[in-house]
Amino acid sequence: MSKQPKAVSLISGGLDSMLATKVVMEQGVHVEGINFFTGFCVEGHTHAIRKKDSSRPKRNNALWVAEQLGIKLHIIDVIDEYKDVLVNPKHGYGANLNPCQDCKTFMVRKALEWSEDRGFDFIVTGEVVGQRPKSQRRDTMPVIARESGAGGRLLRPLCAKNLEPTLAEREGWVDRETLYDFSGRSRKPQMALADAFGFEDYAQPAGGCCFLTDESYSRKLEDLWQARGSRDYELDDIMLLKVGRHIRPSGRFKLIIAREEGEVRYLEGYRNQFTSLRTVSHNGPLALVDGEPGEQDLELAARITARYSRGREADSVSVEIRRPEGAARVLEVRPMAAEAIPARWHV
Ligand code: SF4
């Protein structure tokens, strides 16, 4: 009896990778999922923190998809290696700081390395020709296969019939006739296939699988790089860009001000790393100070924090300034008027 072929499938948590995986599983292939954690993933972070998203299930969609499909999921931390993809993308960025083509190439290459070490025969992705303006064009798809080193080992079951036959088809591990020829931006074929498989619940596509497609997030990341004078970052930096109101009065510092209770709790976890401010005479938010503020900067930071407290109309608000090592003092300040905070300070 010939051995059962093995494939590793890139699981983002969205519908396309779920369908592509299922199509290959239906062919009797042993499939395991792989999900790369870059630090920019949308999954289960701000959704879990913010109240406004409370109606959405607080789940990691990649894990959830793997569970629905009944496959193993390997979640792999690529935070450090991903920096080079983001900072120096050979094929440039999309509409924001999303280096989609280089990102896809990187992920397929990582999946290839992973699969070669473990005896997997091919790689599956949920890409669809023409679905995304840059990374999923007909002419970029072979480039991703080639530059990742995967070549014919990369199978895209949802649009395979629009592409040259791959190794899995040539070897008969999957029957090309059971694959699909989806193309373009319409989601209707995917929804019909989801219906056919009986998938009633799946993550709705919302522009992209990571924060780098988000304009406001990308602006904050550019601002961080500019203020630091280097296009580098740590995981905490990029996690904090997902949370709070960011106000930068000067190149020396910016404030990250919680907008609601969930964000207050989240930012509290960083009080040992950043100087933090909190109004004590009135209810108000917690704010972190990122940078190297001087004494006058801290007074300004306190006035801005007071502006977002219940004491915004008061003549004086007490603001506690706490250093990361725990030393604290209280400043009495006049809250800044909304119109005195220039729009350009809002990152
Ligand atoms: S949206 Fe983000 S994770 Fe998805 S391909 Fe683009 S850069 Fe990569």
Q: Which pLDDT belongs to residue 320?
A: 98
Residue with tokens 């709070």: 244
Find the 182 Cα to ligand 1 centroid distance in Å. Answer: 20
Residue 30, pLDDT > 80, answer: yes
223-242 pLDDT tens trace: 999 999 999 999 999 999 99
Distance 208 CA to ligand 1 centre (A): 6
Q: Kindly tell me if the per-residue pLDDT of 44 is higher than 60.
A: no
Contact 31, 73 (CB under 8 A): no
Q: Is the pLDDT of residue 135 over 80?
A: no
Q: How confident is the model at residue 45 (pLDDT cuts 50, 70, 90)?
A: low
Residue 206 has pLDDT above 60, yes or no: no
> Which pLDDT belongs to residue 139?
83
Contact 218, 96 (CB under 8 A): yes
Q: What band does 209 get if pLDDT is binned at 50, 70 and 90?
A: confident
Choose the residue to mutate in 76, 104, 140 for probing ligand 1, maximizing ligand atoms within 8 Å of C-beta: 104
Residue 245 contacts residue 257 (beta carbons within 8 Å):
yes
Predicted pLDDT at 208: 61
The arithmetic mean of pLDDT across residues 106-111, rounded, is 98
Integer angstrom CA distances of residue 293 from 210, 249, 302: 31, 10, 12
- Position in ligand 1 atom list of the atom nearest CA 38: 3
The token duo for 106 is: 């990187």
The mean pLDDT of 5-30, rounded to a whole number, is 96
* Protein residue whose Cα sits closest to atom 4 of ligand 1: 209
Distance 114 CA to ligand 1 centre (A): 20
Q: Whose CA is nearest to atom 5 of ligand 1?
A: 100
Ligand 1 site residues, Cβ closer than 6 angstroms:
98-100, 103-104, 135, 208-210, 212-213
Provide the edge-to-edge strand list for the sheet that holds 328-333. 245-250, 253-257, 286-291, 275-279, 317-322, 328-333
Cβ contacts of residue 343 below 8 Å, gap of 6+?
none
Provide mean pLDDT across the span 309-313: 97
C-alpha of residue 97 to centroid of ligand 1, in Å:
10
Residue % of the chain over a pLDDT of 90: 84
Residue 136: predicted pLDDT? 72
Distance 211 CA to ligand 1 centre (A): 8
Average pLDDT over residues 88-106: 95
What is the best residue among 34, 97, 100 to mutate for testing ligand 1's pocket, by most ligand atoms within 8 Å of CB?
100
Average pLDDT over residues 296-314: 97
* Ligand 1 center from residue 103 Cα (angstroms): 6
The pLDDT value recorded for residue 110 is 98
The predicted structure's pLDDT at residue 200? 87
Note the pTM of the prediction, 2 decimals.
0.91
